[in-house]
Amino acid sequence: MDGGQPGPLILDQNQRSIVLLYAARAARGFGDGFAVIILPAYLAEIGFDAFQIGIVATAALLGTSAATLLIGHLGARHDIRNLLLLGAAFMIASGIAFPNAQHILFVAVIAFFGTMNPSTGDLGMLVPLEHAMIARSVPDSERTSAFARYSLIGALATAAGALAAAAPDLLGAVGIDKLTALRILFYAYAALGVLSALLYTRLPHAEMKAQAPQAALGPSRGIVYKMAALFSVDSFAGGFAVQSLIALWLFERFDLSLTAASVFFFWSNTLAAFSFPVAAWLARRVGLVNTMVFTHIPSSLCLIVAALVPNLAIVLALLLVRAALSQMDVPTRTSYVMAVVTPEERPAAASVTAVPRTLTSAISPTIAGALLTTTAAGVPLVICGVLKIAYDVALLYSFRHIKPPEERG
């Protein structure tokens, strides 16, 4: 056998794996797109107030943190493909369990153990595993672009899913009551979990233990812990304005319909999606850290102003501008974390930087929910914007001199 043959074979396998991961991300993104809108609508329909919805959001994010932390340790010891299948099983169970629970205790437990989050984006137990598989399948020069495509596909699918959130209004026109229509969408979410599982079964087995007997962080520990601390500030801020609470705020302040909300979040997610390739292009010219910081600050200013404006059209316009800028740090942040650690540390680094983000973001929705029940309903958005600007300044100061391989020399 010719010694040069394994190279192309490995390359083909890596490409196939990435395509499957992109497809699974699209399936999950579509489900997330309508889940983030119908979740507060369903809870409000069965009698929950804003504070109780905030508690459910907190439970969901706390559960995401626990699952992500567990996955970070298991990912270095076990077959990543099998762990992805386990995550898909939890997604299926979430879609089946939610529409069959109405007491807040049961709903909170399902939210904790399930995969449905109050915010779309790169959250959940499946994300660190997908990140690790993508990072090992591409060279350094292609890493940021690969993550930008991953985020782009996820965001476009999320935008399409947001349009599906209008289904209850459409089904109402043919005589199906709103609660039943909302439950149908939860079952559709479970079906997307089945599709994700089918895609994951086609992935190759990928065990990291041959490369990394140690499951934890090694030489990059200090950098990762510093990043985790800063990312936790950003996520604590973001928890005040997760998409489910933004939707609830729009429902209550402006009496926005479910159909109007689905159209708005479609465009919001679409703008976020097309910002990802722009982020990759910008990062090649000004660097990953600069891209993260100098796109984030204007988006936070838009959020602060939106909280103070009484006109719905202006508010929606500001939120759309924010959407076009606020997610540009997602692929760049992921690429940066994967770049500044050793390959063996990547599953643990992805988990360690993700867990504090979801833990701290789990605290703020309950506070935001309580504030939404008062006359100061816009305060959570202001708090979010101010804290995010503080995070951006601290990130620039702390990491401006730590360069990924492609930016050195």
List the chain domain ranges: 13-407
Structure tokens, 115: 């995969």
pLDDT at 211: 42
pLDDT at 181: 92
What's the predicted TM-score (pTM) here? 0.71
Task: DSSP letter for 186, please.
Answer: H
pLDDT at 377: 77
CB 330 within 8 A of CB 122: yes
CA–CA separation, 40 and 63 (whole Å):
18
Per-block mean pLDDT, blocks of 10 residues, the chain (409 long): 45 78 92 89 89 88 79 68 88 92 90 80 73 78 80 87 89 87 93 94 68 58 88 90 88 88 90 85 90 94 94 95 90 86 79 76 86 83 95 92 81
pLDDT at 187: 95
Secondary structure (H, E, C), 200-249: HCCCCCCECCCCCCCCCCCCCHHHHHHHHHHHHHHHHHHHHHCHHHHHHH
CA–CA separation, 95 and 110 (whole Å):
10
CB 14 within 8 A of CB 139: no
Put residue 124 in one of left, alpha, beta given phi > 0 → left and psi -120 to 50 → alpha: left
36 class by beta-carbon count within 10 Å (0-12 exposed, 13-18 middle, 19+ buried): buried
CA–CA separation, 68 and 303 (whole Å):
28
Task: DSSP letter for 345, please.
Answer: G
Phi (first) and psi of residue 207, to 5 degrees: -100, 130
Which residues are CB-neighbours of 304 under 8 A, at least 6 positions away? 381, 382, 385, 386
Matching CATH number, 13-407, of 3.40.50.300, 1.10.10.10, 1.20.1250.20, 3.30.1330.10: 1.20.1250.20
pLDDT at 75: 58
Phi (first) and psi of residue 125, to 5 degrees: -70, -25
174 class by beta-carbon count within 10 Å (0-12 exposed, 13-18 middle, 19+ buried): exposed
